[in-house]
Amino acid sequence: MKIINTDKAPAAIGPYSQAVVANGFVFCSGQIPLKPDGLLVEGGALVQAEQVLDNLAAVLDAAGTDLTKVVKITIFLANMDDFAVVNEVYASYFLGENKPARATVEVSRLPKDVLVEMDCVALL
């Protein structure tokens, strides 16, 4: 098992790692729309989803892989009304043949009252 940490994504805001590598997989913790400096991105679900995916990409890069190797992603939304705009952003990051398995759920609240959080599992 290997712990992944990078300063190109925000530090964990609790007692967990940005990601863990185990048995040929990278398990990324949930990312919210914090910039690498720890400040929240201002704006709606579109810009928040972009930052979240940029954060996941940075963590995956630090682990030695990338978004093309993602096999499963979970999207957590504070409001399912944001599904279409988040889906549009998501589609722009997962082009071509790589269409990971995915779940999208609405939750009652997310850390720091953000609108979007995502986690993923990727192959090395």
Q: 10-69: per-residue pLDDT in tens? A: 999 889 999 999 999 999 999 999 999 999 999 999 999 999 999 999 999 999 999 999
**Which tokens hold the place of 57?**
């990409």
* Rounded Cα gap, residues 17 and 29, in angstroms: 7
pLDDT > 70: percent of the chain: 100
pLDDT value of residue 19 = 98
Count CA within 13 A, CB hemisphere, residue 27.
Answer: 9
Distance, CA of 87 to CA of 73 (rounded, Å): 12
According to the model, what pLDDT value does residue 97 have?
85
What was the pLDDT predicted at 15?
Answer: 94
Record the pTM.
0.96
In this structure, whether the domain defined by 2-123 belongs to CATH 3.30.1330.40 is answered with yes
